[in-house]
């Protein structure tokens, strides 16, 4: 198989892995953190919901306070309810919100 | 999902016109109360997650139809600003007999309250506050797993 080695290391090939994920916040979380939607390039170490929440908490401030492990938080990945082990991938729509109160 | 009000009479009439197999129609209407957690409520705002809301409700209706021998399920949920005494949600279940229609109607409401992405914010004299989820609602949904 032919490979082209460029000076300075392997070429960076744009592919699915470079697509950002979309993070959506709702209700109290949206207000407390002050954002409704964000495009986020997932760091390599973020593989699941638990990893994403840890990554967001590391920003400090309202992110750290509102997403603290003791807080009752729900997460949906691609519009399906998820748990901490649910995988997250580039291009996913990940929504974080408080327990629902409709009806 | 809609911001405008609904008319249960018109909704049921439409369901009855669509299908003559039904011998029973069970319904539930949720209404905005003027008091919650000891404080008077002047206004309520309902937020939802467009896209997921529709999917979640479709899944709940599909599960109800799989569990009970019913004909049809209608769910209407309002979003936006509501006042005390306004209607919030309508569930109508039609079937051949009342037992299954009653059970399925209760199931749809219990699951809607714990799985459909809606959030209520109340305006009270003491300021605005997000309504907290109730443990009783989780317990009500849990019993259907048995």
- Count residue pairs from A and B with Cβ separation < 8 A: 72
Measured CA to CA, the distance from residue B127 to residue B93 in angstroms comes to 38
Q: Where are the domains of chain A?
A: 19-97
Which structure tokens are listed for A73? 């938080």
What is the pLDDT confidence band of residue B123, given thresholds at 50, 70 and 90? Answer: very high
Q: In the structure encoding, which two tokens stand for residue B45, read together? A: 């705002």
Look at residue A33 in the predicted model and tell me its pLDDT: 97
Domains of chain B: 8-138 (3.90.1170.40)
Nearest to B89 among A27, A95, A103 (CB): A103
Average confidence score pLDDT of chain A: 88
| Per-residue pLDDT at A17 | 60
Lowest mean pLDDT among A17-21, B12-16, B37-41: A17-21
- Residue B39: per-residue pLDDT: 87
Give B59-87 pLDDT, tens digit per residue.
Answer: 999 999 999 999 999 999 999 999 999 99
Q: What is the pLDDT of residue A19?
A: 82
Q: Give residue B38's pLDDT.
A: 84
Residues 1-60 of A with CB under 8 A from B: 24, 26-28
Percent of chain A with pLDDT over 70: 83
A12 confidence band (pLDDT: 50, 70, 90): very low
Query: Cα dist. B41→A98, B48, B86, B101, B133 in Å?
Result: 21, 20, 12, 33, 17
Is the pLDDT score of A11 beyond 70?
no
First-to-final CA distance of chain B? 30
DSSP state, residue A58: T
Provide the 10 A C-beta neighbour count for residue B91.
25
Contacts of A72 in chain B (CB under 8 A): 133
In chain A, where do the E strands start and end? 21-25, 37-40, 74-77, 80-82, 93-97
ipTM associated with this complex:
0.90
Helices (H), chain B: 8-18, 52-67, 98-115, 135-142
Q: Any idea which architecture A19-97 has in CATH?
A: Roll (3.10)
Question: Closest partner residue to B115 among A24, A27, A100, by Cβ?
Answer: A100
């Amino acid at each position: 198989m032919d490979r082209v080695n460029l000076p300075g290391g392997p070429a960076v090939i744009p592919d699915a892995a470079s697509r950002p994920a979309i993070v959506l916040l709702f209700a109290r979380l949206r207000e407390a953190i002050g954002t409704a939607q964000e495009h986020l390039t997932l760091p390599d170490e973020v593989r699941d919901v638990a990893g994403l929440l840890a990554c967001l908490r590391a920003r400090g401030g309202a992110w750290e306070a509102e997403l603290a492990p003791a807080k009752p938080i729900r997460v949906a990945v691609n519009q399906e309810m998820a748990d901490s082990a649910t995988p997250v991938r580039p291009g996913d729509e990940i929504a974080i919100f408080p327990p629902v109160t409709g009806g | 999902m809609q911001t405008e009000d609904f008319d249960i009479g018109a909704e049921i009439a439409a369901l009855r016109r669509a299908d003559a197999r039904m011998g029973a129609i069970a319904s539930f209407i949720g209404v905005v109360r003027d008091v919650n957690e000891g404080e008077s409520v002047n206004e309520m705002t309902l937020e939802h997650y467009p896209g997921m809301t529709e999917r979640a409700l479709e899944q709940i209706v599909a599960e109800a139809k799989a569990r009970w021998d019913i004909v049809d399920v209608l769910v209407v949920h309002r979003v936006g600003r509501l006042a005390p005494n306004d209607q919030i949600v309508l569930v109508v279940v039609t079937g051949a007999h009342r037992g299954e229609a009653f059970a399925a109607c209760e199931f749809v409401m219990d699951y809607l309250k714990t799985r459909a992405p809606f959030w209520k914010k109340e305006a009270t004299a003491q300021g605005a506050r997000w309504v907290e989820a109730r443990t009783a609602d989780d317990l009500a949904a849990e019993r259907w797993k048995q």
